[in-house]
């Protein structure tokens, strides 16, 4: 226990960093991912092509490579970004591809009659998506979206290798300074992640039950 | 048409393979020239670690795989460097040939657990001897004394001449390393940027994302050698980092044995020769005076 008391400040700061990475990265991923999903089902071919290209690029690239590109690649073309904003960008851009596919699966799950009826009523494509299709789609994608976001929280650990002092960067730091306390360090880090993921999973479950549609 | 293309591909693959094997052959020959003589009739008191290892005819040694000059994995998957040569020296005195050594990558964070769990018999991995670590493992040596130094961009645009100039500057090192902790403790005004490997620090320095890189001089020398037009060393070490050989806590006989081997190699020139063909080949400097072995 004394070990955690002594290193409380470190654990707190690292936890807050992981939390902000998760919140900001998740926000970026949700907004961008939803936009991409709208592109992917849009009637405009170039938008569909663009979104498909984006999804296939980011979904099939390791996150570490995305990090490398943003942190070390972009400065080569004189676009220097800070390490923390860079990490948020990498995590958000990467996760957006997965969010897009989850949301698209939800859109596909909405009976096509719904969109057709909306169009028949005179709603534009954008209106029918916003007012009719997406609200129903989001209800069905809560579980897969939850998976994507929980995976993202754990993916934030990659930022440790790119100069962001988040939870898993405590592993080498504290282990090197307290080589005998390896297990305590591991437990502390795991608990830090679980403080984010377990309540999130619980909240997602409640949202899922609340918005479930009886078919 | 299809067959021709297939044949051409196979020919190309064949050429590449042939090229590889002859390279590997040359390297093996070179290595053979350099190897220290392996003791043939070794005799140790029964029950000692030396007797066990000599009996088994093999040893597992942990080293780093990412430190040019000390322990760097070459493209053939074999580690090379001064640490590796020191490991071979010890193995040779146990009657174990270099090809019977199993190399395991140890990074800063897992050296103690690997020794404690018996996953490695020895750790020779730019491993600084300090009091906290002495509680967990035993150290033979030191076999080299490094010092923390600073690397800056060529021409030293920030005018950094020592650690006191790092205040307010962006300094890069590796999370969990002794140099990083030293900066935190002694020079808290410096802004630390911490990656997981030093090569990223070099990239960040190239991009101007950090102003300086700090760690042990020998590691920095390797980085400067990799990009002499981009980097330069400040060249004023401000700490002493005695590198030791880690082994299981309480195995005093084994520790004494390794210390004897080290002292012998200091005297007969094997140690200096090992330095010359590894770290010395990178720095272009002659082998330093061997350090005094610390039989604490």
Contact criterion met (CB < 8 Å) for B204 and A72: yes
Residues of chain A contacting B178 with CB distance shorter than 8 Å: 176
Identity of the residue in A72, A175, A179 whose CB atom sits nearest the CB atom of B203:
A72
Contact criterion met (CB < 8 Å) for B175 and A169: yes
Q: Which of B105, B155, B154, B145 is nearest to B125 (CA)?
A: B105
Contact criterion met (CB < 8 Å) for A161 and B200: yes
Q: What predicted TM-score, i.e. pTM, was given to this entire model?
A: 0.77
pLDDT 10s digits, B253-272 = 999 999 999 999 999 999 99
pLDDT tens, position by position, for chain A (215 residues)? Answer: 788 888 899 999 999 999 999 999 999 999 999 999 999 998 899 999 999 999 999 999 999 999 999 999 998 888 888 999 999 999 999 999 999 999 999 999 998 899 899 999 999 988 999 999 999 998 889 999 999 999 999 999 999 999 999 999 998 888 877 767 888 999 999 999 999 999 999 999 999 888 877 55
Residues of chain B contacting A75 with CB distance shorter than 8 Å: 207-209
| Gap from A166 CA to chain B (nearest CA, Å) | 11
Contact criterion met (CB < 8 Å) for B194 and A163: yes
* pLDDT (0 to 100) of residue B289: 86
Identity of the residue in B132, B175, B197 whose CB atom sits nearest the CB atom of A173:
B175
Q: Is the pLDDT of residue B119 over 70?
A: yes
Residues of chain B contacting A177 with CB distance shorter than 8 Å: 132, 176, 181
Contact criterion met (CB < 8 Å) for A161 and B113: no
* pLDDT (0 to 100) of residue A215: 55
Q: Measured in Å, how far apart are chain B's first and last C-alpha atoms?
A: 74
Q: Does B133 touch chain A (CB under 8 A)?
A: yes
Identity of the residue in A72, A76, A176 whose CB atom sits nearest the CB atom of B109:
A176
Top mean-pLDDT range of A10-19, A169-178, B73-82, B176-185 = A10-19
Contact criterion met (CB < 8 Å) for A75 and B195: no
Calculate what percentage of chain B has a pLDDT beyond 90.
Answer: 52
Q: Is the pLDDT of residue B37 over 90?
A: no
pLDDT band with cut points at 50, 70 and 90 for residue B31: very low
* pLDDT (0 to 100) of residue B253: 92
Going by DSSP bridges, is the β-strand pair B122-128/B59-63 parallel, antiparallel, or unpaired? parallel
All structural domains of chain A: 15-164 (1.10.3720.10)
What does the alpha-carbon distance between residue A173 and residue B173 come to, in Å, rounded to a whole number? 12
> What are A3's two structure tokens?
């070990």
List residues of chain A with CB under 8 Å from any CB of chain B.
72, 75-76, 80, 83, 160-163, 165, 169, 171-173, 175-180, 182
* pLDDT (0 to 100) of residue B21: 43
Contact criterion met (CB < 8 Å) for B200 and A72: yes
Contact criterion met (CB < 8 Å) for A83 and B177: no
| Gap from B172 CA to chain A (nearest CA, Å) | 9
- Mean pLDDT, chain B, rounded, equals 85
Would you tell me which residues 18-57 of chain B have a C-beta closer than 8 angstroms to some C-beta of chain A?
A: none
Which CATH number, 3.40.50.720, 3.40.50.300, 3.40.50.850, 3.40.190.10, labels domain B35-141+251-283?
A: 3.40.190.10
pLDDT band with cut points at 50, 70 and 90 for residue B32: very low
Contact criterion met (CB < 8 Å) for A72 and B207: yes
* pLDDT (0 to 100) of residue B281: 82
In this structure, the number of other CB atoms found within 10 A of the CB of residue A11 comes to: 18
Tell me the sheet residues that pair with B60: B102
Contact criterion met (CB < 8 Å) for B181 and A171: no
Contact criterion met (CB < 8 Å) for B108 and A76: no
* pLDDT (0 to 100) of residue B5: 54
- Average the pLDDT over each of A201-205, B8-12, B140-144, B163-167 and give the range with the smallest value: B8-12
Q: State the architecture of B148-233 in CATH terms.
A: 3-Layer(aba) Sandwich (3.40)
Strand arrangement, sheet containing B122-128: B101-105, B59-63, B122-128, B241-248, B137-146
Taking the domains of chain B in order of start, what are their residue ranges?
35-141+251-283, 148-233
* pLDDT (0 to 100) of residue B29: 42
Domain B148-233 in the same topology as domain B35-141+251-283 = yes
* pLDDT (0 to 100) of residue A214: 59
């Amino acid at each position: 226990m004394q070990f955690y008391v002594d290193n409380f400040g470190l654990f707190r700061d690292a936890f807050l960093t992981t939390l902000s990475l998760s919140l900001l990265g998740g926000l970026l991923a949700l907004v961008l991912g939803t936009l991409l999903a709208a592109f992917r089902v849009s009637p405009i071919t170039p938008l569909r092509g663009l979104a498909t290209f984006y999804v296939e690029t980011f979904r099939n690239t390791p996150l570490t490579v995305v990090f490398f590109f943003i942190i070390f690649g972009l400065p080569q073309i004189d676009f220097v970004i800070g390490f923390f904003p860079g990490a948020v960008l990498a995590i958000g851009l990467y996760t957006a591809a997965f969010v897009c596919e989850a949301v698209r699966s939800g859109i596909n799950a909405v009976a096509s009659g719904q969109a057709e009826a909306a169009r028949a009523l005179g709603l534009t494509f954008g209106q029918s998506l916003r007012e009719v299709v997406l609200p129903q789609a989001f209800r069905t994608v809560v579980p897969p979206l939850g998976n994507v976001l929980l995976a993202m929280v754990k993916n934030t650990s990659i930022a440790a290798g790119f100069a962001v002092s988040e939870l898993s960067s405590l592993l080498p730091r504290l282990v090197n300074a307290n080589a005998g306390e390896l297990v305590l360090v591991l437990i502390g880090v795991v608990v830090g992640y679980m403080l984010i993921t377990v309540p999130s999973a619980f909240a997602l479950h409640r949202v899922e039950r609340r918005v479930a549609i009886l078919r | 048409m299809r067959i021709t293309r297939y044949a051409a591909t196979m020919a190309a693959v064949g050429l590449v393979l042939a090229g590889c094997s002859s390279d590997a052959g040359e390297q093996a020959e070179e290595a053979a020239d350099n190897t220290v003589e392996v003791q043939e009739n070794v005799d140790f008191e029964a029950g000692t670690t030396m007797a066990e290892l000599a009996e088994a005819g093999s040893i597992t040694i942990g080293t780093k795989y990412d430190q040019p000059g000390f322990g760097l994995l070459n493209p053939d998957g074999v580690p090379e460097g001064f640490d590796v040569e020191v490991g071979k020296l010890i193995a040779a005195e146990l009657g174990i040939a270099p090809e019977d050594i199993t190399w395991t990558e140890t990074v800063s964070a897992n050296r103690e657990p690997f020794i404690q769990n018996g996953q490695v018999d020895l750790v020779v991995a730019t491993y600084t001897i300090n009091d906290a670590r002495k509680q967990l493992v035993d150290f033979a040596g030191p076999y080299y004394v490094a010092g923390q130094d600073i690397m800056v961009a060529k021409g030293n645009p920030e005018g950094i001449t020592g650690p006191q100039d790092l205040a307010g500057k962006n300094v890069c090192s590796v999370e969990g390393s002794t140099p990083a902790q030293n900066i935190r403790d002694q020079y808290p005004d410096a802004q630390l940027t911490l990656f997981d490997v030093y090569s990223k620090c070099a990239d960040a320095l190239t991009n101007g994302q950090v102003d300086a890189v700090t760690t042990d001089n020998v590691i920095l020398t390797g980085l400067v050698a990799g990009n002499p037009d981009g980097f330069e060393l400040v060249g004023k070490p401000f700490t002493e980092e005695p590198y030791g050989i880690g082994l299981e806590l309480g195995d005093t006989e084994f520790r004494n044995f390794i210390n004897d081997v080290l002292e012998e190699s200091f005297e007969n020139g094997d140690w200096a020769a090992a330095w010359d063909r590894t770290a010395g080949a990178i720095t272009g400097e002659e082998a330093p005076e061997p350090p005094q072995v610390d039989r604490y």
